[in-house]
Structure 1
Amino acid sequence: MFSKKSVFGVWVFIKIIGCHLLSPEVVWSQVIPDGTTPTPNPGSCLPSCTIEGGTSTPTNPNLFHSFEQFSVPTNGIVIFEHGPTIRNIVARVTGKNSSDIDGLIRTSSLNNNANLFLINPNGISFGPRGGLDIGGSFIATTANVIQFGEQGLFSTADTDSELALLTVDPTAFLFTQDTPQPIVNQSIAPNPDLPFLVDGLRVEEGRSLILLGGNITFERAPNSLNIDLPIRAPGGRIELGGVRNSSIVSLDINDDALSLSYADNTILADITINDTDIDVSGLSNNRAGDITITANSLSLNSSGLLSDSFGTENAGNISIRTNNFVTIQDGSLVSSTSFDSGTGGNIEVIAEDISLDNGSLSVTARGMGDAGRILLDAETISLNAESSIRSDVDSFAEMVGNVGEIRIRTNIFSLSGESRVSILTSGEAMSLEASSTVNIEAKDSISLVDRSSITSETRGRANASNIEISTPELVIDNSAISASVNEEGDDFSDATGQGGTIEIETQVVSLLNSAQITSNTSGDGDAGAISIRDAESVSLSNSIISTETSALGNGGDIDITTQQLTASAGANISAAATNTAAASAQSGNFTLNINQIDLSGQETGLFAATQGAAAAGLIALNSANAGEALTINFQEGAQISAATSGSGDGGRVVALVPEGITLTGNGSLSTRSTGAGPAGDIDIQTNGQFRVQNGAEVEVSGEGTGNSGMLDVIAETVVLNDGKLLASVQAGEDGNINLEIEDALILRGDSLISAEAFNTANGGNVNITTPFIIALSPDGPNGNDIQAIARQGNGGRIAIQANTLFGIEENKATLGNRTNDIDASSEAGIDGEVIIDTLQVDPDEGIDPLPSSLAAPEISQGCQTGSNGQFIATGQGGLPSNPYEPLSSDGIQEDIYPAGQTLPQPVSTQQTDTTETLIEAQGWNRDEQGNIVLLATTPDTHSSCQVTLNGAF
């Protein structure tokens, strides 16, 4: 496991020495110059030796040493002597052996701040006793060459360069070998001044420690003590870089801060950190430092990357960039924390794959400062085994800062094994506005399984952060996404901040096995809203989406837009106010923009409820797409319900779908009161058809002492096919049903429209306005009934305004009578009334009188009598000119002849008509001689009377 500062007694120091003196792996190598620089042989470095000489000039800030071999024996000390003007001490190894550092490397003047560069392309390792005691920064690298701007190179292969001409700071490291050699660190060396304090590799405050080579490994040495390896740069910078082949790595020296940069095409090597604390935390009131790791892959095992500030200065940043994977596991922690008024640092991890397996990333503000932010960017990101990513502002200070942002960019994001992403605000805020978000964007999918969570919480006056999720597929299995306002004291005033919102943009949402998406408040602040947008489907199985208030704050709203919503096995979507919620509070509202809702299970449904004095919210049902109807499928007693079981008002249900609404199956849409508060109304409006069928019910009820609600329907057509529209009341009032229908009310199967009163309550009213009521032959035992009945109270009133009623009439609606009845009776009270206002037809209305005089004949165009026209005289059997005149006799004129004499048959004689038909002139023209000629036009060729003229006269 990680640790921060490991402090041990003198017995630890003695035990370390004893272990390594007795170890057969003790290295006794010495420091041997190669003669290319004026560096004398220092002799044995046990107990110590001094490196003198080297190449430099009085005006050159660089001092160069060259060695055939450079190693520090166990418990030995190597001291680099230098003048006060030296800025950089550069030591190379030109031989074939690696450098094994199992003792102390020291510079002669800690106040001089000279940087020490150790370059050995054969490899560098730090043993358990390997340590540093230098004034400036320390750089160990297995590169072949150090570049000094345009002035030249300091190479381990070419030793003939003019070193005195290299007067600028080093600018780059060149790896010319195919496989750069590794760097290994096993140091648990004690602090040079405080031997009971284990410091490992350490530089002075504000300085940099850089390890740059091939693969880099931090691990415990065999037979060493079971303690973590520390590597420290208080308020400075620790940078680890691994390269795999020929590369150029740039170096920037900015005062005391040294940093590396890599070309985009650099092929990187692997870095493994085991049982190590890399710590750049600030001392006292000073700023914390930065940690940067660049590699092909990083494995962080039971280790820590720590950058904390303890005063007014800021915490530092931690940056990890790999080409392949980052694994943070076995209790490893990456943390940047501000414990006072300083701002927390940022954590950035960029890789192809990021895996946390019992690992944590944390940005925290424990004082008045703001927390930093966390940014993860990878192809896949997974959290397992109680891993966490968190941003906290948690302080007992009078004023606290803002919480930091968590931003995750990936293709696949998964949490399992009780892992969590969390953001927390508590204490007295300097800024009440929400300062950050949990923003997760996954191009393929997001999954939470096995009690994992994504949470946003406020326990103070600052607003909680929002949770924003964008992915094509979201799966939550026995896990949760939640936003909450939680009070910490004895009253609600401790948590006055507003809850964060949960915004999900996705195509598919699946909640399984007690999964949750929740937004709650137990304080003075309002709970945040939950919204799911642009989904193709949202499915819940034994899971919930809910908002809740149990205190002074209002519950959050729920807004879901999807093509299809499916809930089963006790799943529900709810907005609730508990019995401890204040009377001034209100539970949240639903807005559901959905084309199809499938609900299955007795405990399954959509619920807006209050248990106490607070008011319940609204359930609004709309179609997801313009031009499409809404269908709700119920099974096994599923419900859509707005209810009150306390003194608060019950919620309303409003369905506004222009294209049509269908409720089908065994279930109900209802508003209920089981307490003293009144039930809400149900308002259904559509320009199309409203269908209730196959056992579905729409009900407003007052089952306690509260009033029932009103059921109002406006539709083009209402069809009940074994469906019910119900209003009932036990002790209160109301419970009315109002139907305003443009075309027709159609009753089929065993349907019922009922306003029913129990006990001494009076029956409600049923008002129906429609052109037609059509009740078909019943299929069930009771028939299709319309009733407003009562037990001991008075019956209600049924008022019907319709043109015509078909198949239904006023009659006692008795169970099992299999008739279609209209009933407003009372069992023990006064019967109600049935008012049926039907259309009274007047046969004269709208009829124009027939003319009693003949019209003037039109002028004929001179049709010949030989055409196909006919004239038929019916004699005395014609109709009168208007309905009020008597019909004429159909008598027939008959000639009288003696008995036995037959009527002579007329003889038809065919005669030829020689009379020329005169044709009326229809126009005139002038011929070639100037004469006026009268013309006749051709009549309509479709007429049976035709005249054809080929000339004029």
Structure 2
Amino acid sequence: MSTSFIDIPGLTAGNIEITADSLTLTDDIRVATTTNGKANAGNVTIDVQNRAFFARGGYIGSQANSGSEGNAGEVKLRAESLALHDGALLVSRNSGNGKGGNLTVEAADIELIGTRVNSGRGGFLTEARGGKDSGAGDITIITERLLVKDGAQISASTRGQGQGGNLLVNASDSLEVAGTGIGSFGQTVSSYLFTVTTDDGINAGNAGNLTVNTGQLIVRDGAIIGATSFSSGQGGSLTVNAESILLSGISADGTIPGGLSTDTFGTGDGGELLINTGRLTAQNGAGVSAASLGEGQGGRLSINARELVELKGTAPNGFPSGLSVQALGAGNGGDLRIVTDVLRVDEQARITAASGNAADARIPTGQFIFDRPIIFPDNATGDAGDLNITARVLSINNGGQVTGATTGEGQGGIVTVNASDLVEIVGVAANGDPSRLTAFTRGTGDAGDLNVFTTKLKVQDGGEVSADTSSSGLAGTLMVDATESVEVIGTSVDGNNVSSLFFDSSGAGDAGELIINTSRLLVQDGGRVSAATSSTGQGGTLEVNATESVEVIGTSADGNNVSSLFFDSSGAGNAGQLTIGTRRLLVQDGGRVSAATSNTGQGGTLDVNASESVEVIGTSADGNNVSRLFFDSSGAGDAGELTIDTSRLLIQDGGQVSAATSAEGRGGVLEVNASESVEVSGTSPNNQFASGLFFDSRGAGDARGINIKTGDLTVQNGGQITVSGSGTGISGDLEVTAESISLTNQGSLRATTTAAEGGNIRLKVVNSIILRHNSEIVAEAFGIANGGNINIDAGGFVLAFLSENSDVVANAFEGQGGNIFVKAAGVFAFRQFQDRRTPESDLTARSEVGIDGAEEINTQDTPEFNLPIDFAEEEVQSICPSVSSQSPAQFHSVGRQGLPTNPYESLDSITIWEDLQPPRDLAENPPESPERIVEATGWVVTEEGEVILVAQMPSATSQRGCRLR
């Protein structure tokens, strides 16, 4: 048919039924029923054995006109294949107060293609335009293959107070919605499957639900499948069940992103978007959205993908592919939930959850792989929502980003990751942006938290895990709980991005916390774990609890980035603290563990509790960076503290443990409690750095210095323990309480000053202090400063070797020399009380120009006793009338046959004597008997008092000579 119509109007309209082998309607052919009154419009039924083709305004439908009370009729079409081109329509429209008719289409192949210029779009349509008791009919499509392209539509809508119809598509093989067309006003329009509510009134009807069941779903080039609200009515839900889903591209003019949507643009709330599939791919700018762009609340987005959710790339204009539950208007964003085995986000694709009062975004998944940004920002006035990721593996690679953020006035949300096996953040993008898992706030409210729960956390090759706030509220917390290990390793290839796990607070409120709970923390090859605060509130906390070990090792390959675990506080309030609890702390090959504060309040603390050992060893490969455990305080208040509690402290090969303070208040302290031993040994391989414990005071207040409590203290091979001062306050003291102290091969204990009073050295030792091979204990002052004192209290000896040039010296230049006080069992092998140091071992207190100090030695040496020469005679028995002292010797020969079996029996009778001695010439001269050595049996005293030992005492008549024995 062409340029004709079949139209049956009336008070009681009849039905239209067409049965044909094939059917073609073109050029405005109309087959329709209508009602204008109380009667219902008739139904339209078409049954085509083969192909039905409608084009250029071909129209089949049923309509209830405005003012009518009757219902629109149903439209049913069955064919082998159906094609609607260039604006052709199947429609059931209700503009009155009745009900809209349903539209049912059944065909093996269905294609809806194109629009008609100046006439509008073609496709399948049910529509309600009437009052609240009216409503649109439902659309049901049963097919194997459905194609909607070039601006064609399938739509169930309400434009009044009536309810929108539902849309159901069952396409057993495939459904493809593609491209855009030209609308009736020349505008670009999408190909779409839609349920929608669009009335401007306050009582607009709700949109219907849209359900798609298919094998393969393709939505591309700006096409849309959606359930949307543009009014005060509620948006409908969208449910997609497909074996695979491909969403790809935007419109050719770059204005329309394609995909799946339950967005709300009005005051009505958005509906739920539910996807059940094997694989979901969104690429080249296409995506899935349940966003709120008006005052309504955004709906929930739930994705269940058995195998994979893959988001990748951008459109040519840079529009990213992704998932969105954001709120860009006054409303709140919806929920986000993804359940899949693998979630991969690549090439600048995004996941966005943002709102005024964002709801939870929950992503339980098997493997979570991000390559490029996944952003959860907030730009509105309400509280930010929470993001919860539950996975077996979370992997963020090549610049991928998962970000929970707020820039509004509300409270920051919480980002929580639960990954049973692994969280991995690796590498950077081509433009240098790091792979990132982060939560930040730029608003006026309190910041949110970032929590990571996993077995193993790995941050590598420039990746980043961070919590960042510059808001005026309280900072949040970054908490990592990794049962097996946390590894932060290396930098990006170009060295511009450091692998890092950090917290940064620069807001007006109190700083937050970085807490790490794990078995093993490894920071290596330039990686960084840190907390930095510059807020005006109280400083934050960096807390590490590693049951087995904390290892900070090496530098980056180029040597520009040092592996580090540190806290930096520069705010106006009191400084924070770095706390490390572990079995073993190892800082090696140039690694650093440190805390630095420059607060105007009280200085912070660095506390290390390592039950087994603390080891600070060596330098970087190029020799420029020393392995260091240190604290630096330069605030206006009292300086901070560095405290080490362990069994064994080992510092060797140039490693250093130090504290420096330039605070205006009371100086800080470096305190070591090592129950077994402290060993400081050697220098760096290039001899540029000495191993040591160092305290340097440059402040105005009196410093507290170094306090060591240990079992055995050993300083050897150029190692040092030194307190020094150049400030106006008193330099810190060096105090050691130990079982023993051994200084050997240029080992030294030193207290030096260049300005005020010198620091003192106080040594309290249970046993002995031994100095060998150019070792020294020195309190020294330069310039006009007075030297400090040396106070030694040893239960044993203070021992040196005179020729080895080991010294105990209290020196000054222009100021007064310090004093030396020694209390010991004995002081040996020093050249004492010299006015200068000599090449031998010295113990001296002196000043080059000023007044010498004093030496005071208090020993408990055993006094000498002179034995008496004459003893009382009755105390010694006389031996003069004694028997001969030469008793005959005896020899028992038992023969070569041995002894009897017991003492009461003789040898067996079969015993035969055999002379086994070789024959001897009797004429041979006997050997000369050696001179017999006779032992002394007494002594005599001569008249001159000389004692002589004798073998036999003189006769008893020589009474004086026999007096002593």
TM-score for both structures, normalised by structure 1: 0.70
Alpha-carbon distance between aligned partners in 2 of 1:769 and 1:219, rounded to the nearest angstrom: 87
Alpha-carbon distance between aligned partners in 1 of 2:606 and 2:270, rounded to the nearest angstrom: 58
Partner of 1:867: none
2:520 to 508, 512, 519: 508
Partner of 1:834: 855
Q: Shift of residue 439 of structure 1?
A: 1.5
Conservation of the 8 A alpha-carbon contact between 1:228 and 1:277: no
Between structures 1 and 2, the one with greater strand share: 2
1:531 to 523, 534, 543: 543
Partner of 1:211: 212
Alpha-carbon distance between aligned partners in 2 of 1:361 and 1:546, rounded to the nearest angstrom: 28
Q: Shift of residue 412 of structure 1?
A: 2.6
Amino acid at match of 2:46: P
Q: Shift of residue 394 of structure 1?
A: 0.8
Alpha-carbon distance between aligned partners in 2 of 1:59 and 1:622, rounded to the nearest angstrom: 89
1:761 and 2:781 aligned? no
Alpha-carbon distance between aligned partners in 1 of 2:830 and 2:444, rounded to the nearest angstrom: 70
1:705 and 2:728 aligned? yes
1:39 to 32, 41, 45: 45
Partner of 2:661: 644
1:824 and 2:845 aligned? yes
Partner of 1:358: 372
1:548 and 2:560 aligned? no
1:465 and 2:481 aligned? no
1:306 and 2:324 aligned? yes
1:571 to 573, 591, 595: 591
Name the SS for the 2:756 alignment partner: coil
Once structures 1 and 2 are overlaid, which stretch shifts more, 384-393 or 673-682?
673-682
Conservation of the 8 A alpha-carbon contact between 2:544 and 2:579: yes
Once structures 1 and 2 are overlaid, which stretch shifts more, 505-514 or 786-795?
505-514
Q: Shift of residue 708 of structure 1?
A: 0.9
Cα RMSD (Å): 4.0
Alpha-carbon distance between aligned partners in 2 of 1:115 and 1:375, rounded to the nearest angstrom: 40
Once structures 1 and 2 are overlaid, which stretch shifts more, 522-531 or 447-456?
447-456
1:476 and 2:479 aligned? no
Correspondence list, 1:275-424, <5 A: 275-295=285-305, 296-301=307-312, 302=314, 303-310=321-328, 312-322=330-340, 324-338=341-355, 342-362=356-376, 364-395=377-408, 399-415=409-425, 416-417=427-428, 418-424=434-440
1:744 and 2:768 aligned? yes
Conservation of the 8 A alpha-carbon contact between 1:484 and 1:528: no
Partner of 1:123: 145
2:508 to 485, 492, 496: 496
Partner of 1:609: 632
Name the SS for the 1:375 alignment partner: strand
Q: Shift of residue 709 of structure 1?
A: 0.5
2:693 to 658, 661, 669: 669
Summarize deviations over 1:160-198 as a string: whole Å, max 9, x none: xxxxxxxxxxxxxxxxxxxx5233332446788994575
Partner of 1:630: 648
Alpha-carbon distance between aligned partners in 1 of 2:102 and 2:841, rounded to the nearest angstrom: 106
Summarize deviations over 1:244-293 as a string: whole Å, max 9, x none: 79xxxxxxxxx99567697xxxx835544543243333343211223233
Alpha-carbon distance between aligned partners in 1 of 2:304 and 2:180, rounded to the nearest angstrom: 24
Change (3 A) 1:482 1:270: closer
Conservation of the 8 A alpha-carbon contact between 1:721 and 1:750: yes
Change (3 A) 1:62 1:735: farther
Q: Shift of residue 552 of structure 1?
A: 0.2
Summarize deviations over 1:860-906 as a string: whole Å, max 9, x none: xxxxxxxxxxxxxxxxxxx99xx9977746645659xxxxxx9xxxx
Alpha-carbon distance between aligned partners in 2 of 1:236 and 1:527, rounded to the nearest angstrom: 50
Correspondence list, 1:544-943, <5 A: 544-568=564-588, 570-578=590-598, 581-582=599-600, 584-593=601-610, 595-601=613-619, 602-623=625-646, 629-636=647-654, 638-645=655-662, 647-666=664-683, 667-686=691-710, 688-722=711-745, 723-777=747-801, 783-808=805-830, 810-812=832-834, 817=839, 819-839=840-860, 841=862, 888=875, 891-892=878-879
2:128 to 102, 109, 117: 109
Change (3 A) 1:662 1:190: farther
What percentage of aligned pairs have identical amino acids?
22
Change (3 A) 1:187 1:788: same
Change (3 A) 1:442 1:773: same
Once structures 1 and 2 are overlaid, which stretch shifts more, 440-449 or 67-76?
67-76
Name the SS for the 1:182 alignment partner: strand
Correspondence list, 1:3-22, <5 A: none
Conservation of the 8 A alpha-carbon contact between 2:602 and 2:639: no
1:77 to 89, 94, 98: 89
Alpha-carbon distance between aligned partners in 2 of 1:524 and 1:79, rounded to the nearest angstrom: 67
Q: Shift of residue 343 of structure 1?
A: 0.8
Aligned length: 739
2:532 to 509, 517, 520: 520
Amino acid at match of 2:857: I
> Structure 2: any 5+ residue segments left out of the alignment?
1-25, 33-42, 64-68, 115-121, 158-163, 198-205, 230-234, 246-268, 315-320, 429-433, 492-498, 555-561, 620-624, 684-690, 885-965
Alpha-carbon distance between aligned partners in 2 of 1:815 and 1:71, rounded to the nearest angstrom: 110
Conservation of the 8 A alpha-carbon contact between 1:240 and 1:293: no
TM-score for both structures, normalised by structure 2: 0.69
Alpha-carbon distance between aligned partners in 2 of 1:321 and 1:71, rounded to the nearest angstrom: 38
Change (3 A) 1:799 1:468: same
Alpha-carbon distance between aligned partners in 2 of 1:256 and 1:649, rounded to the nearest angstrom: 62
Alpha-carbon distance between aligned partners in 2 of 1:841 and 1:87, rounded to the nearest angstrom: 120
Alpha-carbon distance between aligned partners in 2 of 1:811 and 1:370, rounded to the nearest angstrom: 77
Amino acid at match of 1:531: E
Amino acid at match of 1:186: A
Conservation of the 8 A alpha-carbon contact between 2:108 and 2:144: yes
Alpha-carbon distance between aligned partners in 2 of 1:270 and 1:570, rounded to the nearest angstrom: 47
Name the SS for the 2:413 alignment partner: coil
Alpha-carbon distance between aligned partners in 2 of 1:216 and 1:586, rounded to the nearest angstrom: 63
Q: Shift of residue 44 of structure 1?
A: 2.7
Alpha-carbon distance between aligned partners in 2 of 1:752 and 1:120, rounded to the nearest angstrom: 97
Partner of 2:37: none
Alpha-carbon distance between aligned partners in 2 of 1:371 and 1:194, rounded to the nearest angstrom: 41
Alpha-carbon distance between aligned partners in 2 of 1:120 and 1:60, rounded to the nearest angstrom: 24
Summarize deviations over 1:124-180 as a string: whole Å, max 9, x none: 33323133442236545446xxxxxxxxxxxxxxxxxxxxxxxxxxxxxxxxxxxx5
Q: Shift of residue 474 of structure 1?
A: 1.5
Conservation of the 8 A alpha-carbon contact between 1:40 and 1:51: no
Change (3 A) 1:84 1:376: farther
Conservation of the 8 A alpha-carbon contact between 2:240 and 2:274: no
Alpha-carbon distance between aligned partners in 2 of 1:138 and 1:605, rounded to the nearest angstrom: 70
> Structure 1: any 5+ residue segments left out of the alignment?
1-26, 144-179, 221-226, 246-254, 487-494, 624-628, 845-878, 896-901, 903-953
Name the SS for the 2:85 alignment partner: coil
